[in-house]
Amino acid sequence: MNRHLLAAILGATFVLAACSRPEPPPEPLRAVRTVTVGSTDAGGELEFAGEVRARTETRLGFRVSGKLVQRPVDPGQQVKAGQLLAALDPQDLRLNQDAARAALAAARSAHALAEADFRRFKELRDQGFIGAAEFERREATLKSAQAQLDQAQAQAAVQGNQAGYASLVADRAGTITAVEAEPGMVVAAGTPVLRLAHDGPRDVVFSVPEDQVTAIQALAATPGRIQVRLWGDEHTALPARVREVSAAADPLTRTFQIKADIGDASKLRLGQTATVRVELPRTVGVTKLPLSALKEQGGASHVWLVDPASMTVQLQPVGVLGAEGNEAVIGTGLKPGQVVVTAGVHVLTPGQKVKFYVDPTAAGSSTLSSPATPVRLK
């Protein structure tokens, strides 16, 4: 009986041993590229795509309604002050002017008659042939005729101006940027017909994200921080000054429009593409790391720190101020002398054993791996 019991126990032991999971293999000892944290200064430069526009661009229209019969200018054409841009059919306006002139002539005749009657009745009153009441009626008639004459003169002047409004002329020299009405169309008073970009000061208009508006606004009073380079001419930099910042963000792009003054640059083509470079003020005592060293987790930025004593890695949250080229500017979370992993951050786990990477092509690569040499990032 004891032998059978022993055999049963041994068999159960073998079965349990066969069903148990094997021990997982140890994690590979990963070689990591590292850099030692140092303190430096960071400035930075932001670039935005912009467009050259005129400081003043006017949408021109007629003061009166009518049928457009003439438009002697085209988009892109240079015009001078006083040059004819468009014209309406003046026939109805001239008829109204003629009617006003006729009404003015009638008012003058009535006024002359009332004035002559007033003089005669004044003489009769002085001789005692009429009473005061009759004289006052003649005086009132003269005043009424004078008022009608003044009204007719004003109406004739208005109709004269209306006839002159049939011609649309340029009030300033500039460039026609758009045409919004063609001959044959009936336009109402005030309807835009042309757009005129005035000669003179030019702006470069660009849009910036919400988180960068405050920094650019702070540079409005600092000369030399904003420069404009035109497409195809990267060697020429034009100084610019922030002139206007949009009060509200664009509802679609959620960006703010900024206008930078580049002075009197009439030779620049309207709509020309430009690159706006904004030099940010320098920040002292920050750290620069390659962008590949950052890992996003839980909506925050982290880096892997290497403990040289145990050769293990741990996540460290950091505060990122911005970027300069391929480097991230770190403001908080790191201290000089700490060792940060700069590559392969997405395959590491907390507490994982690592070793320092040694370039096999470098001199002395046959030696054992050693800690990263402290460097100061610039």
> 120-125: which pairs have CB atoms within 8 A and are 24 or more residues apart?
none
- Number of structural domains (the chain) is 4
Residues 6+ apart with CB under 8 A from 239: 223, 224, 226, 227, 228, 262
Both tokens assigned to 170: 């340029």
Q: How far is CA 13 from the centre of its chain?
A: 77
State pTM to two decimals. 0.57
Domain membership flag for residue 21? no
Answer yes or no: is 69 within a domain: yes
Residue with the two structure tokens 């593409």: 273
Please give the structure tokens belonging to residue 243. 């002139």
| Pick from 85-99, 135-149, 324-338, 342-356: least confident | 324-338
Give residue for tokens 């996003």.
296
- Encode pLDDT of 235-289 as tens digits: 778 888 888 889 898 899 889 999 988 887 767 788 888 888 887 766 556 788 8
The answer as to whether 304 is a domain residue is yes
Q: Report helix angle 132-164 to 91-127, nearest 10.
A: 160
DSSP 280-348: PPPEEEEEEEEGGG-EEETTEEEEEEEETTTTEEEEEEEEEEEEETTEEEEEES--TT-EEE-S-GGG-
160 closest CA partner among 103, 81, 108, 111: 103
Residue 370 within any structural domain of the chain: no
Average pLDDT rounded to a whole number, residues 52-71: 92
Yes or no: say if 348 and 341 are a contact pair by the CB < 8 Å rule. Answer: yes
- Three-class SS state of 54: strand
292 and 351 belong to one structural domain: yes
Contact 99, 159 (CB under 8 A): yes
Residue 358 DSSP one-character state: -
Residue 254: CATH number of its domain: 2.40.30.170
Distance, in Å, from the CA atom of 298 to the CA atom of 170, rounded to the nearest integer, reads 60
As a whole-number percent, the residues of the chain with pLDDT over 70 amount to 82
Domain CATH for 333: 2.40.420.20
- How far apart (Å, rounded) are the C-alpha atoms in residues 323 and 328? 4
pLDDT of res. 83: 94
Domain holding 341, by residue range, is 30-43+283-356
**8 Å CB contact between 38 and 378:** no
